[in-house]
Every structure is written in structure tokens, then in C-alpha cells.
Amino acid sequence: MGKLRFCRLQQRQDRFETWRLFVHSSHAAPQPGRPQLVDLRTVLPADLEPLWAHETCWWRQHLHWDVSASLAALRRVVGRHGLSGHAVRVDTHTVGYAYYLVSGNLGVLSSLVLAPAWQSDAAVGPCLLQATLATLRRHDVQRVESPCVSPAYPWLVPVYEQAGFCAARRAFLRMTLAHAPVPSAPPSGIQLAPWQDTHMPQAATIMQAAYQEMVDTTLNVLYRTVEGCSGVLENLLQQGGCGPLLPEASAVARYRDQIIGFVIATTIAPHQGHLAQVAVLPAYQGQGVGRLLVSYCAHQLARHDFESLSLIVSQANTRACRLYEAMGLHKILTFPVFVWEQVPG
């Protein structure tokens, strides 16, 4: 796969002209009907409830994904005034928010949400995003990733590109398990075994090797190292990043005494399964191992009365996209993700 070329951030002043729509000073009285940008740490959970209700409906309607547990955790952090980012208020209503996380030299813009009536506004969304990115960069981060799934805001890609980010597209795919293909016969010498937590170190090594020639390593810096892949798996399995683990639909593939691939399935809503991670060692790719793991996952979910299986894939990973489409997974949604990395000198 071709490497995603990082764009050099041109040295320029922040575009405060656009931000004049907002009342920045907490001491200034906001004008009626005029958007006001505020620090997210000053916002109460009750202020965000309408936006969270909208988020819950959007994820359920479009992706069959129940995000209520994630939003409950977010609600607790907001209640402690511990979420970094910005919100936009119009009179007494909070109409949008964005928040970010910082870990060392890495910044992650984790969410950007706007009320439906403001999603196409040519000023509010762009200014909220610009302000949040500017605040994030003041932490002297060397890299910023924005992997969040978002609606098709018409201004989103231009604003990121003007800020020096590069964009790639990912796709959310889903299959109805009533139409799932018959499980593949294992390639010669390959055996499947149930997933166990003790497989995590080997799975992290497989992930790191499998992703090295893929665009994903440019979109998520964690995929570049075994340690980073361990962190991804820990988030999936111990933090419930994509919902609770489904051990009955998760497995490892063995050749002789070596684990050469694995699949991890989770549940994102009642009767809705999600293929959270699948990887095969490069030396065994193209031999049907990946197809075996995905078909096993789908078959096991169907046996346990699940209705659908979904996954997310980078569109630049054309080989994986062709495999998934051939197996009956259909594109439900595409969305952009963004990355910026400071170039020395």
C-alpha cells in the first residue's frame, strides 16, 4: 500500500478573523442569538444532554451501535470538569462540542459533535474545530490524529486541510448474518482455537507485522510498534473500546505450533456483532487464512442469534475491501480521518 504523504504545516497565524463570531472572553456578556465559544471544562453534563441524545440516535440509526455506555463514561468525566476542548453556546443552548486527549507528543481529537440545526452552518462548526485544534497544538504535540466517525459535515475536510492535515477515508461495512456465507474450509495444516487473553502478546506481534505495509500505520501511530498494538488490544479487551468481547466468535489460527492470525469480535448492541480486529502474519496472507477467520466469526455470531456483523476498514486497503465485499459485507458509511505530523526544520 502506498504510504500516506504527510503535509507540511505552513507557518501561519491562526485565523482569528473567523472566530470573531464568538465571544471569547468569559467576562464579556454574550449577545442574544450569537454563538459563544467556551472552555469545555466549564460545561455541565446537563448542558450536553441534548447533544448526547442526538449522538445516541445517530449511531443507532446509521451504524446499529449503542454508544450509551461510552457516553455514560464521558458524562462522568464532564461532571468532574476533566474534559479538554471547547463547546459552542447560543443563548442558553449548547449546540456543539469537541474534545481532545494528549499523551506525550501525541494529540487525538476524539469527538466533534454539532446539533442538527447547526451542522451545515458555514461558521459555527469550522470555528469550533479551528479553536480546538489551535488549543491542542499549544500542548507542543508533534503529531495530531483525528480518527473519529462523524457525519458528512460539508466543511470538515477543507478546514482540516487548511490546518495542514492530510485526509484518508475509512468505510463502515455490515452484513446481515442471515445471508452469511458458509464457513470456509481451513487451508491445509491450519487449525482454529478459541481466543484466550494469554494470546495477547502474540496477537500484538502479529498486528504490528501485518500493518507495516498498510496505510493504517500512517493514520494510527500505535500500529507501528508491538507496544502500541498491545495498547490497542488492551483498549479493546479490557477497556471495552468497541463493546464487550464475544469469546464465542473470537479465535486464533495456528499452523503447527505457531499462532499466525487471530480475529476478535465484540458486541456493539443487542444482536449486533462487530469485528474489532483481524490480522494475519504477512507470510501467511493470500492463502485463505483471513477469509477463514472472518467466516468463522460470522458463522459463530449467527449460531448465537446475532443479526449482523460490522467492521471498519481503510479504503486504501483494497485487498481487504475486496475480500469483505466478496464475503457479503456492504458499505454503509464512509468517513474521513485526519492526521498531522510536524516536520523537523
DSSP H or E stretch at residue 246 = none
CA angle, 247 then 191 then 302, to 5°: 40
Residue range 25-45: average pLDDT?
76
Distance, CA of 1 to CA of 216 (rounded, Å): 10
- 19 pLDDT band, cuts 50/70/90, is very low
Q: Does residue 190 have a pLDDT over 90?
A: yes
CATH 3.40.630.30 in the chain, residues? 16-164, 173-336
> What pLDDT score does 181 carry?
74
What number is the average pLDDT over the span 283-306?
96
pLDDT band at residue 25 under the 50/70/90 scheme: very low
Provide the pLDDT for residue 31: 56
- Return phi, psi of residue 136, to 5°: -60, -40
Cα gap 178→308, rounded to integer Å: 8
pLDDT at 259: 98
The average pLDDT across 96-113 equals: 97
| pLDDT value of position 230 | 97
**What does the buried/exposed string (b/e) look like for 113-137 if buried means 16 or more CB atoms within 10 Å of the residue's CB?**
bbbeebbebeebbbbbbbbbbebbb
Average per-residue pLDDT for the chain:
90
How many H helices and E strands in the chain?
Answer: 10, 12
Query: Architecture of 16-164 per CATH?
Result: 3-Layer(aba) Sandwich (3.40)
Q: Kindly report, residue by residue over 141-162, the tens digit of the pLDDT.
A: 999 999 999 898 999 999 999 9
For cell 469485528, the residue is 275
Domain 173-336 adopts which CATH fold? Aminopeptidase (3.40.630)
**% pLDDT > 90, the chain:** 81
Residue 8's pLDDT band, with cuts at 50, 70 and 90, is very low
pLDDT value of position 57: 97
pTM attached to this predicted model = 0.89
- Once rounded to an integer, what is the mean pLDDT over residues 117-134? 94
pLDDT value of residue 345: 60
Which of 48-57, 234-243, 291-300, 333-342 has the least mean pLDDT? 234-243
